[in-house]
Chains A and B, each alone.
Chain A
Amino acid sequence: MNKTVTVNIGGMVFHIEEQAYDQLKKYLEAIRGYFTSSDGRDEIIQDIESRVAEMFTERIGNNRQVVIASDVEHVINTMGRPEQVAGTDEENSENKSSSGTAGSTSEGRGYRRLYRDPDDKVIGGVCSGISHYIGIDPIWLRLIFAIAFFVMGTGLLLYILLLVIVPKAKTTSEKLEMKGQAINIDNIKKTIEEEVEDIKTRISGKRSSRGGSSRIANFFEAIGAIIVAAIKFFVGFIGVIIAIVLIALLFALFVTLLGMSGVIGGDSLPIFLTNFFLESWQVNTGMFALALVIGIPIIVILYRIARSLFKFKSESKLFNYSTGILFIVGMLLTIWIGINISSQFRNSNTDRIMIPIVQPQTNTLHLAAMDETFSRMEDYDDSNFSWNSDSWGINSDEDSVSFDDVELTVQRAEGNEFELVRITTSRGTNRKNAELNSRRIVYPIQQNDSIIHFAKSYIIPKGVKYRGQKIRLILKVPEGKSVFLGQEMEDVIYDIKNVTNTWDNDMVGHTWTMTARGLECLNCNLDESTSINYNYSSDHDEKVKVRVNGKNIDINSHEDTINWDNKDVKIKIDGDGVVIDAKEKR
């Protein structure tokens, strides 16, 4: 007992067992898969279905009501396997590509291949070849190319490109492929070719003799054909443009990589990368990997475009495998290089060095940034820190690289003297390597009397790689003593803690004194909003305005020097600094 389904095959109703139905359906789907809609797929299937209906009717006769599996099997055996049904067309195209011996007289568009026509050429037969391919008169193409020649020479470029890419039709079979014709048997190839030509001319002769109305029809047909051809050509043209762009990209990539790796000179890749970040083998391998990872996809896309445009011979396995493998190699190399580079940052090392400074005569130590010229001296001494030495600097830009990753902060000194601590950190493959990397960086500090000059940046000399080196400086100020942050020190200092929470940029240009509460600016005019609760101002002198509140003493003057002496408060401001003395009333 089996379930049945009711189906309409070729306009007739059948009761068919479910299993048989599945089989039949699969079979028809398989046949369908062998054809394209341009082959007239639907019509073919319809015809086959009609025939199937006929066969079923014959087989079941009057005795039975239901189509069973054996009926379907019989149908399949009579009709042939799907590949046999499609066989004529399928094998044709295969045989043609291999030997060109088989096939039937056909104008099937799918069989056409783009070749250059050596029999009908002006230069290389490109135009006539394309005209065979899209089926328009070569004169139009020649015209288009001639016009395109004057549009920045694109026509010429395109022509040359096509001349190179498109193969010439050499053998008879290639010539027939070019024209979209195929012939049954070798011996009658030529004959049939002539016949077809003959028939064609006769058809056109007949048509034109038919009279007015068909002439108009012909005219519109021709217009339609031209439009279709134009659209097809346009689509192809876009493909060609994309191809040209990709070729240009590929070329650019090639040239860039050559330039970067120094093969053709120039220094396109930042020196920092080649000299101070990567080993030379890393650069070269990286370039190679990059070329593969970017270049291979471009080549593959180009190949695909070319193939779909010109219907090249079937897919090349060698090409697919080799590009695939090369791409994977490129990826692996890139990953490996990445891991390799990151491994050189694995360990870190910190060096803490106390830098001896000469204690200033006054209570104030002046800090200033070295200007550019100052820090660019001819020679430099590698590792020894030397006072009053002018021999710091950079040899030349090619031999060293400088980083302004310098952080100076101010802390309270435990003793009675100013202290300067330099902390260098670096990374490396291991601890020793990291230590080496940190030792070899150069950071000039120079003291002239009570002024210490700090370089804004530290220098990595040639031979040392950048491995995340960093310089931190801690200036320890004893209580009661002050530092003056000179101009441009904002490039050196970093997050100096102070009582008023003043920003680094605003700290510059003021004298900061280490008090019991921390670092305090005694001559600043900072943030008036906090100075409201008690406000004492005195217009002692018209030129000088003094305001004292719970936190600050605020002095404004129009003159360079302020000198205000009073019973309780004594203020003196001049080029040397600020002296403020506020006595409590006894």
Chain B
Amino acid sequence: MLKTSNKMSNLENTQAQMRRGVLEFCILSIIGQGEVYPSDIIGKIKDAKVMVVEGTLYPLLTRLKNQGLLAYTWKESSSGPPRKYYTLTPIGEQFTSELRVTWQELVDAVNQTTSNNPIS
């Protein structure tokens, strides 16, 4: 009983870690495609199952902004109060492109290793 629950939490933990690592890259990529506000990001990302709950997004955005990777401007909206629209800073762009390279390498590496050593 205890073992299975351990296994479960381990699995969840690993999955969460994987998602989290990728989430940052995904968000940076989405913002890189053009000015967006948080709900846009949520709309785009929701189906991808990368993010389990929406709440995770906001601390992440704030952190990336504090790191100088993101910037935002307030823009009027037709249906309510002004919204925060995020864009990538030059550093953010640099960072995202570096991550893209790393991601590609990672995908290749994972494909290669998993196909060479099939785990049933």
Using a CB–CB cutoff of 8 Å, the interface residues on chain A facing chain B are 10-12, 31, 35, 39-40, 43-44, 47-48, 50-51, 53-54, 57, 78-82, 84-89, 91, 95, 101-102, 104-108, 184-185, 187-188, 191-192, 195, 198-199, 202-203, 206
Question: CB < 8 Å: which of A51, A104, A107 contacts B58?
Answer: A51
Question: CB < 8 Å: which of B53, B65, B81 contacts A85?
Answer: B53
Question: CB < 8 Å: which of A10, A84, A102, A188 contacts B17?
Answer: A102
A84 touches B53 (CB 8 A): yes
A10 touches B58 (CB 8 A): no
**What 3 A-B pairs are tightest by C-beta distance, nearest first?**
A80-B53, A85-B55, A11-B81
Q: Determine if B118 is an interface residue (Cβ-Cβ < 8 Å).
A: no
The CA-CA distance from A85 to B59 in the complex, in Å, is: 8
Rounded to whole Å, the gap between the CB of A384 and the closest CB of chain B is: 82
A10 touches B56 (CB 8 A): no
B66 touches A102 (CB 8 A): no
A87 touches B62 (CB 8 A): no
Across the interface, which residues of B come within 8 angstroms of A185, CB to CB?
17-18, 21, 106
Rounded to whole Å, the gap between the CB of B53 and the closest CB of chain A is: 3
Q: Determine if B35 is an interface residue (Cβ-Cβ < 8 Å).
A: no
Across the interface, which residues of A come within 8 angstroms of B18, CB to CB?
185
Nearest neighbor of A86 in chain B, beta-carbon distance: B59
Nearest neighbor of B68 in chain A, beta-carbon distance: A203
Known contacts being A51-B38, A54-B39, A107-B67, is A184 close to B20, with CB within 8 Å? yes
The CA-CA distance from A274 to B3 in the complex, in Å, is: 61
Across the interface, which residues of B come within 8 angstroms of A11, CB to CB?
80-82
Highest count of chain B CB atoms <10 Å: which of A12, A87, A198:
A87
Across the interface, which residues of A come within 8 angstroms of B21, CB to CB?
102, 104, 184-185
Query: Residue-by-residue, is B28-72 near A (CB-CB < 8 Å gives 1, otherwise 0)?
Result: 000000000011001000000000111110111111011100000
Highest count of chain A CB atoms <10 Å: which of B24, B63, B95:
B63
**8 pairs across A/B with beta carbons < 8 Å?**
A10-B81, A51-B39, A85-B56, A86-B59, A88-B60, A187-B106, A199-B98, A206-B90
Across the interface, which residues of B come within 8 angstroms of A105, CB to CB?
24
The CA-CA distance from A11 to B82 in the complex, in Å, is: 9
Across the interface, which residues of B come within 8 angstroms of A57, CB to CB?
79-80
B38 touches A95 (CB 8 A): no
Across the interface, which residues of B come within 8 angstroms of A48, CB to CB?
55, 58
Q: Determine if B16 is an interface residue (Cβ-Cβ < 8 Å).
A: yes
A80 touches B63 (CB 8 A): no
The CA-CA distance from A557 to B35 in the complex, in Å, is: 120
Q: Determine if B109 is an interface residue (Cβ-Cβ < 8 Å).
A: yes
Question: CB < 8 Å: which of A88, A104, A195, A199 contacts B91?
Answer: A199
Rounded to whole Å, the gap between the CB of A217 and the closest CB of chain B is: 15
For the side of the interface on B, what is the size category? 35 or more
Rounded to whole Å, the gap between the CB of B96 and the closest CB of chain A is: 11
A47 touches B62 (CB 8 A): yes
Nearest neighbor of B66 in chain A, beta-carbon distance: A40
The CA-CA distance from A91 to B52 in the complex, in Å, is: 15
A12 touches B80 (CB 8 A): yes
Question: CB < 8 Å: which of A53, A107, A202 contacts B80?
Answer: A53
- Which chain B residues (98-112) contact chain A, with CB distance < 8 Å? 98, 102, 105-106, 109
Across the interface, which residues of B come within 8 angstroms of A10, CB to CB?
81
The CA-CA distance from A118 to B107 in the complex, in Å, is: 34
Given A44-B62, A81-B53, 4 other A-B residues pairs in contact with their CB atoms under 8 A: A40-B59, A80-B55, A95-B17, A104-B20
The CA-CA distance from A80 to B10 in the complex, in Å, is: 20
The CA-CA distance from A350 to B90 in the complex, in Å, is: 97
Across the interface, which residues of A come within 8 angstroms of B102, CB to CB?
188, 191-192, 195
Known contacts being A107-B67, A185-B21, is A47 close to B61, with CB within 8 Å? yes
A87 touches B16 (CB 8 A): yes
Nearest neighbor of B60 in chain A, beta-carbon distance: A88
Across the interface, which residues of B come within 8 angstroms of A91, CB to CB?
16
A87 touches B83 (CB 8 A): no
Q: Determine if B94 is an interface residue (Cβ-Cβ < 8 Å).
A: yes
Across the interface, which residues of A come within 8 angstroms of B60, CB to CB?
88
Nearest neighbor of A77 in chain B, beta-carbon distance: B53
Highest count of chain A CB atoms <10 Å: which of B58, B61, B63, B65:
B58
The CA-CA distance from A104 to B63 in the complex, in Å, is: 11
